Structure 1
Amino acid sequence: MLTPAKITNHHFEASGRNAYKAESVDSFIKEVAESYEQVFRENGEMFKKINLLAQRLEEYRNDEDNIRNALLTAQRAADRITKEAQEKADKLVAEVTERTNTENEKLDAAAKEILTKAKYQADSIVEEAQKQAKEIVEKAVTDSKEASVNARSDMIKELAALETMKQEVTKFKQQILGEYAAQLEL
């Protein structure tokens, strides 16, 4: 590989007075072009890797937002289920209460029994709905925590890879600069 010092200190074979051999110049230019092309290609690959890591980091951030949205959606669904169950229970209690009010006194005892059963059923429905809602929320929280932990773990790995790559690029640059400086001192 060519170094800046090699380029600067290269002497072409003289072909005559104040002229160089075309073959010598062409050969040197070809060598310069090959070295430059290799460095250019390596630099391009490094940039591609850095861009890929940046994209992955953005994806992990988007995944985290999606997990938050899923948790919010689960909480809303749980609230809706609880509300609907309460409305059903209220409606059932209201229907039974209306029937008992229209019954005559002879059926009063039977109506009270029906009302008691309806309230018990309503309480059971509400209790079951609350239990289901709680389970849904707990599952969503567990799933979101697990997904968040996985996403964070992946993000940490990707950041570590990015940092390693940055260090390698810095080391590579320092090595090249050191070689150039050493060549210049020659």
Structure 2
Amino acid sequence: MPLTPLDIHNKEFSRSFRGYDEDEVNEFLDQVIKDYESVLRDNNEYKEQVETLREKLAHFANIEETLSKTIIVAQETADEVKSNSKKEAQLIIKEAEKNADRIINEALAKSRKVALEIEELKKQASIYRTRFRTLVEAQMEMLKEDSWESFERSAVNE
């Protein structure tokens, strides 16, 4: 068991014939008591500081653990958001490709229909021109004849 300042103060030495000077020993013991009390006070303060620092260290270790977990959760969340964004982007691209294919197919169908209508109109225009040309040629033939008799014959025949 360590000495206390009281133990040092209460220490009695046996007296001998040619012993130490009692006042000098007492003075020295008083100085030892003061120094020992100072050392004990400092030691207690250091113990309190060590305990405070341990508590702070435990607190900061807890904060560090919490931050580590938070970073891990944030990273997982970021990865999940990134993955979901990629999936959504792929869906949007697929939908856009479907719409583009549909629009292209509709445009092709319309262009085929228009092409068929154009061909039909060309045929009708060709028939009309042929009929009109025949009519004009017949009229020209009639105008070339000098006599109105042929005109009258043709009018009767119609």
TM-score class, shorter-chain normalisation, is 0.5 to 0.7
- The aligned counterpart of 1:49 is 90
Q: How does 1:1-186 map to 2 (within 5 A)?
A: 15=58, 21-102=62-143, 103-104=145-146
SS in 1 for 2:74: helix
Q: Relative CO higher for 1 or 2, CA cutoff 8 Å, sep ≥ 6?
A: 1
Q: Which has the larger radius of gyration?
A: 2
- The aligned counterpart of 1:156 is none
Q: Deviations for 1:69-123, whole angstroms, at most 9, x for unmatched residues? A: 1111101111111111112111210111112223147xx8xxxxxxxxxxxxxxx
Instruction: State the identity %.
Output: 9
TM-align CA RMSD: 2.2
Q: How many residue pairs end up in the alignment?
A: 91
CA distance in 2, matches of 1:99, 1:30: 99
Q: Note the residue ranges of structure 2 that are not aligned, 5 or more in a row.
A: 1-56, 151-158
- The aligned counterpart of 1:179 is none
SS in 1 for 2:121: helix
Q: Which amino acid aligns with 2:74?
A: A
What TM-score, normalized by structure 1, do the two folds share? Answer: 0.45
SS in 1 for 2:58: strand
Which ranges of 4 or more aligned residues in structure 1 deviate by more than 6 Å?
none
